[in-house]
Amino acid sequence: MTAVQTNIKNYLAVTTTIASSGQPAINEFEEIAEQGYQVIINLAMPDSSSAIADEGHIVTSLGMTYVHIPVPFDAPKQSHLIQFFNVMAGLSDRKIWVHCALNYRASAFLYLYLRVIEQLPEHEAKQTMLPSWQPNETWSAFITQSEAKLLEAVK
């Protein structure tokens, strides 16, 4: 897998068709489009300090699809994760860039997507997690409970 050369905050190449990062700057969306990404999924809250008010317009004006699933950092829910899984499934034939404010929510959601939907072994899926992030109690519990519950459901 070839990593994109970028300065976008906390960028990670997840697979050849999926990348994640923290909030891209306005001009960085053009860079993402030039790399062939066709979809932007934003998991940050609209009132995040780094949020871009007209992000959807910016993304769609560059010819990409924009999906916003606001996930409160202090209260992620299974419904957010299921919505994310459904969006990923519906757009699986495209190059997807997932972001939030710092790539914490995106890392966790992509880890769970790869574990539950793609059924990757835990050590492989963990490579999608931002190495510098140590999930707090809320996110550790969310990841553990979601993984156990959803892996059981797909058996």
pLDDT tens column, 98-143: 999 999 999 999 999 999 999 898 889 998 888 889 999 999 999 9
3-state secondary structure of 148: helix
Q: How much is the average pLDDT of 73-102?
A: 96
Check: CB of residue 20 under 8 Å from CB of residue 127.
no
Q: What is the pLDDT of residues 9-65, one digit of tens each?
A: 999 999 999 999 999 999 999 999 999 999 999 999 999 999 999 999 999 999 999
Print burial letters for 73-96: b (CB count within 10 Å at least 16), e (below 16): beebeeebbeebbebbeebeeebb
Residue 130's pLDDT is 86
Q: How much is the average pLDDT of 65-73?
A: 98
Output the pTM of the full model: 0.93
Residue type, 36: G
For 25-52, the DSSP string reads PTTHHHHHHHTT--EEEE-S-TT-TT--
